[in-house]
């Protein structure tokens, strides 16, 4: 079964195409609330079938810092249940962690199962959350029947996505304004101060910084600066 996915993910495929093919494959099993997320020193990579409003909210709130997926799910290679239907299994979660899960539940995410592809360590962590609007009993049955195939497919899709992202990140081009704004942020200036120096409105500076974060797949300004420095897009 995973070979049907592997055949559609050749070398050199773009991350956008790799995601479209992979998400379609996993959705055919009932996982309509899918998340692939990888946190590294270079930043946060996230692909999801969740609404864009939720993805933006996740990034803007810096939820990767409290996401139980990284703290607990990526600490083990054993699949773990996720979503509101599994919350009772994890009484140790903090109020903030539980709130994050409830917010995801408001989009229709009821239950899911994880597949860790990079265990948590000094360089970060990553994996898949096979989320779904289906109830817990259905998810447990699907994983009981197809878990091995799904995990194999997930590892292969992860490799293709990371290879594509590495190439695409090397080819990122920031606009002159995006570059200027990042450089000033790197020197400790706030949006209002940058606006004064560049003769722009603060909201325009915020837009340039948001565009730069989007291009660099960074969840914070600090990550955007780090990624830009690593890829030679700005100089210290």
pLDDT in tens, 216-235: 877 778 878 887 887 788 87
Instruction: Give the pLDDT mean for 102-128.
Output: 93
pLDDT bracket for residue 215 (50, 70, 90) = confident
Distance CA 165, CA 38 (A): 11
Res 1 pLDDT > 70: no
Contact between 109 and 131 (Cβ < 8 Å):
yes
Strand stretches in 17-176, DSSP E: 33-40, 43-48, 81-82, 111-121, 124-132
The tokens for 221 are: 């300004």
196 by DSSP, 3-state: which?
helix
Q: What is the pTM of this model?
A: 0.77
The tokens for 31 are: 């996982």
pLDDT bracket for residue 84 (50, 70, 90) = very high
Distance CA 33, CA 134 (A): 10
pLDDT tens for each residue of 6-26: 889 998 999 999 999 999 999
pLDDT number for residue 123: 79
Instruction: Report CA Rg, the chain.
Output: 19
Instruction: Give the pLDDT mean for 165-174.
Output: 82
Q: What angle do CA 35, 37, 41 make, to 5 degrees?
A: 170
pLDDT bracket for residue 41 (50, 70, 90) = low
Distance CA 142, CA 13 (A): 29
Sole residue written with tokens 């594509």: 164
The chain-wide mean pLDDT, for the chain, equals 91
Instruction: Give the pLDDT mean for 58-85.
Output: 92
């Amino acid at each position: 079964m995973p070979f049907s996915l592997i055949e559609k993910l050749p070398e050199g495929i773009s991350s956008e195409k790799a995601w479209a093919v992979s998400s379609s494959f996993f959705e055919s099993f009932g996982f309509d609330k899918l998340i692939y997320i990888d946190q590294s020193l270079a930043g946060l990579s996230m692909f999801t079938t969740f609404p864009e409003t939720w993805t933006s909210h996740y990034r803007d709130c810096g939820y990767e810092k409290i996401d139980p997926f990284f703290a607990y799910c990526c600490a083990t290679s054993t699949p773990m249940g996720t979503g509101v239907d599994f919350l009772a299994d994890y009484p140790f979660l903090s109020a903030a962690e539980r709130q994050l899960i409830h917010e995801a539940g408001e989009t229709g995410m009821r239950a899911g199962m994880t597949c860790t592809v990079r265990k948590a360590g000094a360089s970060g962590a990553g994996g898949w959350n096979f989320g779904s609007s289906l109830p817990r009993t259905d998810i447990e049955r699907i994983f009981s029947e197809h878990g091995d195939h799904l995990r194999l497919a997930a590892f292969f899709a992860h490799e293709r996505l990371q290879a594509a992202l590495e190439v695409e990140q090397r080819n990122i081009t920031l606009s002159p304004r995006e570059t200027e704004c990042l450089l000033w942020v790197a020197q400790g200036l706030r949006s209002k101060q940058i606006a004064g120096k560049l003769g722009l409105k603060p909201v325009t500076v915020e837009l340039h910084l948001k565009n730069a974060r989007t291009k660099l797949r960074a969840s914070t300004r600090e990550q955007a600066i780090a990624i830009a420095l690593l890829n030679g897009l700005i100089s210290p």
